Chain A
Amino acid sequence: MRAAAARYAGARVARVEDPRLLTGHGTFVDDVVRPGMLHACFVRSPLARARILGIDATEALAAEGVHAVFTAADLNPDVVEAWYTLIGRDVPDTPRPPLAEGEVRFVGDPVALVVADDRYLAEDAAELVIVDYEPLTPVPDYATAREAADLVHGAYPRNVAGDMAGPPLEQLAPAFEAAAVVVHETIHQQGYAQVPMETRGLVVEWSAPTGELTLWAATQSPHEVRLFCSRLLGLPEHRVRVLMRDTGGGFGQKVVPQREDMCVMLAARKVRGPLKWIEDRRENLMSAGQARHEHADARIALAADGTILAAAVDHVQDVGAYPTPWPVGTAAAVGMFFPGPYRVPQATWSTASVFSNTAGRNAYRGPWQMESLAREVLLDAGARRLGIDPAELRRRNLLRRDELPYFNPNGMPYSDITPLETFEQALKMLDYEAFRSEQEQARAQGRHIGVGTCTYVEPTTAAMALHATEGATIRIEPSGKVNVYVSGGSSGNSIETTVVQLAADALGVDIADVSTIQGDTAVTPFGGGAAGSRSGSMTAGAVGETAAVLRERIAAIAAHKLEAAPEDIELADGHARVRGVPESGVPLSEIAALAYFQPEQLPPGVPAGLEASGRYRPENPIIWANATHLCTCEVDVTTGEVRLLRYIVSEDCGPMINPNVVEGQIAGGVVQGIGGALLEHLAYDEDGNPVATTFMDYLLPTAADVPDIEYGHIETPAPGPGGYKGVGEGGAIGAPPAVVNAVADALAPFGVEITRLPLTPERITGLIRNASAPHGPRTTARVDDPNGPNGPNGPNGPDGPNGPDGTSSASATGGAISADVATSAGGESGADGVSGVDDASAAGSAGSAGGAVGR
């Protein structure tokens, strides 16, 4: 017995989420209103590092409408357990107190929590809380933090949260010595962040008489929130209910509850009424977390013909003061995937996670993305040095289908990927040769256009711990209509539409006859949530396993009624019929009525009702996906402006459940990556003050900044349900290297190499100004020459594994940070941004504010 061929999987089905969201009838956490609800506002540290000498809440407590002011002494002792299922209990987790205890460790560190009748009053009272600080010397720069005299956390010497490493670099010495060229650069990526359009927030309602806690969350994983909350408060899991209907984007920021969430959970039992906290944008940019701030001292050994002989990366990342969750293990992925989808015979890696007095690092779409940035930038640099076209160099090294499965030198077992195919497809979509001719002509006319690519392989659907399984419950109701229960919850990944498509196919019913209920832990099966590019494949598995049980039951009932063999029954168009006998159809509604209301007529051994639960456990621990990003750009060498001309993504996420959803995920990731390459910078000054805490300073890409994205699809099935692979994260991985390489290619006549992001106009004009002579022998441009005492990259290279490198590269980086800040606060956003504000507030007009965001 089987369902008829898929009708909905593969189709551009309109989303079921859309009607409510388009008409203003979604339910985001700030839309939740409960009787007697109170509002929370945090008092946050204005200093990067200081000792808390005292907190005086007297005046705040006396203010109108104020119910309580909590400090660490009130909330922190109530913590029973605070660990994430995602990471596990037994990791050497970093500190994470709900409210700051004794010392504040970054600007924005929550110090006290004010509860009042409404948010206006809570904010008024927060200003009345007097905190006596003794300023301490901050450690604002992770790159120099290992040598700093001061410690972010006293228990962590050298400010190192943890480090990991592969084999010693010395083992690769013969390969590096034999190389025609060793490309060795330190690539620096600025801090940027997820920036969901909906900030964080939650509503917590405690019922003392029943011992039940209900929590409305903005989250990517309601079941993780429930588990975490139950452990935090020492409540049984089944007494905690987490609800979320719509979450306004997460991109990693909302995979686990953070410190503020802990505070609200803890405080909710101490106030009379449900407690709501909605973060404002300033708080979000100041304290919801940072990502991407890291550098990679990377080297690749190349033979004269461009063959890769060996690759090594020493990676250092900023984890801020309170990384969430534990960041050390994740960082290893940067090393493991550094060889990428290339034939790399030998490799090694090391990684260090370093504290600083800044916002804590958290997960962000392709958290290991630095591997692609460092590798792809170095490959282009190597091609230039060898005089080989970068496309040709990649062709010679990309893995071919006939080499799969392939273990990369770090033991990653790639399979079912198509790196060379996506690469060739992207080049063909551009007409690479034609572009090179056009480039030659443009250069002759003094125009600077360039092309860059990034080819990566990406782990998706990693089936571990929280993410090991996924469940579904399907209820075919007595009328024959279908409800599908999965953990899910809409956070922008179209999971409701996906579930409805898959279930309609699996049961052979019309899509209009299927609904899905998600995001309520009281009624949905346990599930890991939206993370790690897992929802498509895992949900397909869960729906598939559960639907199979019901198909078998339906077939048994229909066969009994039609006096046929169950294996001859097929389900299509909402009917069960004998294959090849179209007129034999029994409507599903009739079968459901039998199953519920006339159980005596069911065949022997068939249970009553048409409801089943199933749980999918993947056979493969990882499903690999891959893509090539290709970008062309024109750089105005006078103004430093980068204009993206074409953007092509050729990807292989297996068969597509819904091409609209796949392309939407890619486009969203790509534009985040473009933002990271060109615009976004979560910058701090040398005292650890965040200088990008509004959208006038933190520049998100707008519709005016993005190119049309062109898609090429190669659909190689993975060894899982439907052959589906993950696609949520890849866009954000591939875009920064493709953009950087395109800009570097455009600027190649100047002898410019790019080693530091973002590529603001100031940075680009500086690169050109400071570049060595065209076609010089060694072409590393010192981005930080004007400020830093010394270039970080070349000098300390060839020998000595990590220690000396780290040291000298770190001190130079320190100099550069202040330059970045000056850039960000000044030219990039200052003048234009300020006039923008004036326009916007004066006119209050969408039109004028639009123009005014000004970049």
Chain B
Amino acid sequence: MPDAHAQQVAVEVTVNGTRRRAAVPPRLTLADYLRERCGLTGTHLGCEHGVCGACTVLIDGDAVRACLVLAVQADGAEVTTVEGIAAPDGELSPVQAAFRDHHGLQCGFCTPGFVVSVTAFLRDHPDPTDEEIRDGLSGNLCRCTGYQGILKAVRAAADGAAAAPKEHA
């Protein structure tokens, strides 16, 4: 199918606050666009069929699997990847800091997907029950931690966010 590759479509995507224009083949996934065209290799591919969640990014604020979205579908959208979660000076976000404090990662391959998913989850569920946390995490697979540290980290991040003054919440 050489034609599928030769044909190029112009897209404009705002990635982590930077507007980017590119011509891409229609079949290029958003994940590959981010990794290969933008050099943002924090978005990881664990299954490429939408189950493991390692490639989760935010599109206009919604957590989405970048392996199931084509780059052309993100035309005109704002995309946030794991590289856009920490402060520009490198200070970890509350979710990232909680993962570090509670041993929420080991090999780190699934971690970007968890960080992005949890960031969106806590924004939408600022005061979650433990059950809601488990449900919220069930779309991301981790093979190292047995989820123990991750569950603790999300609980802590939720409690911290709930306790924090509004401007930090």
Contact = CB atoms under 8 A, between A and B. Distances in A.
Nearest to A846: B63
B63 A845 contact: yes
Contacts of B92: 19, 22-23
B142 interface: yes
Given A22-B115, A667-B149, A844-B68, A281 B107 contact: no
A731 to B, nearest CB: 8
Contact of A281 (B47, B73, B99): B47
A491 B35 CA distance: 21
Interface string A624-653: 000000000000000000000000000000
Contact of A695 (B51, B63, B150): B51
Contacts of B4: 124
Interface in B48-92: 48-54, 56, 59, 62-65, 68-69, 73, 81-83, 85-86, 90, 92
Given A197-B54, A844-B64, A851-B135, A21 B146 contact: no
B134 interface: yes
B46 interface: yes
Contacts, number: 250
A57 B119 CA distance: 48
Given A248-B44, A841-B50, A850-B140, A15 B148 contact: no
B138 A846 contact: no
A586 interface: no
Contacts of A28: 41, 44, 109
B109 A248 contact: yes
Contacts of A846: 53, 56, 63-65, 113, 116-117, 120, 139-140
A22 B99 contact: yes
A703 B150 contact: yes
B5 interface: yes
Interface in B96-112: 96, 99-101, 103, 105-112
Interface stretch (A69-77, A657-665, A769-777): A657-665
Given A664-B106, A695-B52, A840-B68, A19 B63 contact: no
B65 A849 contact: yes
Interface stretch (A292-300, A511-519, A668-676): A668-676
B141 A197 contact: yes
Interface string A1-33: 000000000001011011111111110101101
Given A248-B108, A702-B137, A847 B63 contact: yes
A664 B48 contact: no
A668 B46 contact: no
Nearest to B131: A704
A24 B109 contact: no
A35 to B, nearest CB: 14
Given A24-B43, A246-B108, A671 B138 contact: no
Contacts of A841: 50, 68
A703 B117 CA distance: 13
A696 interface: yes
A24 B141 contact: no
B65 A840 contact: yes
Interface in B116-154: 116-117, 120-121, 133-151
Contacts of B133: 703
A26 B147 contact: no
B90 A672 contact: no
Given A841-B68, A846-B63, A709 B103 contact: no
Chain A CB count within 10 A is highest, among B4, B108, B111, for B108
Contacts of B73: 844
Given A30-B41, A703-B138, A664 B145 contact: yes
B100 A14 contact: yes
Interface residues of B, number: 79
Contacts of B56: 846
Chain A CB count within 10 A is highest, among B47, B81, B96, B141, for B47
B159 to A, nearest CB: 17
Nearest to A840: B50
A853 interface: yes
A479 B85 CA distance: 34
Contacts of B27: 120
A700 B142 CA distance: 9
Given A28-B44, A663-B103, A196 B49 contact: no
B77 to A, nearest CB: 11
A195 B46 CA distance: 10
B17 interface: no
Contacts of B117: 846, 850
Contact of B85 (A18, A23, A65): A23
B44 A198 contact: yes
Contact of B134 (A492, A703, A845, A849): A703
B102 to A, nearest CB: 8
Contacts of A556: none
Chain A CB count within 10 A is highest, among B2, B35, B73, B116, for B2
B45 A30 contact: yes
A850 B50 CA distance: 9
Contact of B108 (A21, A121, A666, A844): A21
A280 interface: yes
B90 A198 contact: no
Nearest to B46: A197
A24 B81 contact: yes
B40 interface: yes
A251 interface: yes
A668 B50 contact: no
B25 interface: yes
B147 to A, nearest CB: 4
A196 B149 contact: no
Contacts of A660: 103, 149
Contacts of A350: none
A116 to B, nearest CB: 10
A660 B1 CA distance: 51
A550 to B, nearest CB: 30
Chain A CB count within 10 A is highest, among B41, B56, B59, B69, for B41
B53 A849 contact: yes
A388 interface: no
Interface of A: 12, 14-15, 17-26, 28, 30-31, 33, 63-65, 120-121, 124, 195-199, 246-249, 251, 280-281, 490-494, 660-661, 663-664, 666-672, 694-696, 700-704, 706, 708-709, 731, 836-837, 840-841, 844-847, 849-853
17 contacts: A22-B86, A23-B85, A26-B108, A28-B44, A64-B2, A198-B107, A248-B107, A249-B144, A694-B49, A700-B143, A703-B138, A703-B147, A704-B138, A836-B51, A844-B59, A845-B63, A845-B65
Given A281-B48, A494-B106, A709-B148, 6 more contacts: A197-B107, A249-B106, A663-B103, A671-B147, A702-B141, A846-B117
Report, nearest first, the 6 A-B pairs whose CB atoms are least far apart.
A24-B42, A850-B139, A248-B109, A21-B108, A492-B107, A667-B146
